[in-house]
Amino acid sequence: MLLSTIFTPIASTLYAILGCLDSKKTADPALKETIKGLLGTWSRIVSAQEVEGVCWSIIGGEGGYWKVNIAGEITQTERCFSTASYLAGKLISALP
């Protein structure tokens, strides 16, 4: 499926960006909802095994590390262990 082919490779990055945006009080709510919508749609159209694989890649630190500046611009940063721990905690808390 086309959406699976497009979104599976970037799902961990989208999740990492969402984690960064969730940690900022000044983040654009429309942007957060857009990313949540993309991830929600992706998770419904792919197999459970594919979602599980991406979840494990997120826990493993894939997806990059991101920050939002005061102007709302999102940029990728160097690896930060506190960010990895934050993302892993958010992912685990979201599991049923």
For the stretch 5-29, pLDDT in tens is 888 888 888 888 888 888 888 788 9
pTM above the 0.95 mark? no
Q: What pLDDT is stored for residue 34 in this prediction?
A: 93
* Residue indicated by tokens 């958010």: 90
The dihedral through the CA atoms of 15, 4, 43, 47 has a sign that is negative
- Dig out the tokens for 9 from the structure: 């490779």
Measured N-to-C along each axis, helices 48-59 and 11-22 cross at an angle, to the nearest 10 degrees, of 60
Range of the domain at 73: 2-94
Q: Which residues of the chain have pLDDT under 50?
A: 81
Q: What pLDDT is stored for residue 82 in this prediction?
A: 53
Q: What pLDDT is stored for residue 91 in this prediction?
A: 65
Q: How many CB atoms lie within 10 A of CB 53?
A: 15
Q: What pLDDT is stored for residue 93 in this prediction?
A: 64
Instruction: Work out how many domains the chain is built from and give that number.
Output: 1
Q: What pLDDT is stored for residue 66 in this prediction?
A: 73
Q: What pLDDT is stored for residue 72 in this prediction?
A: 73
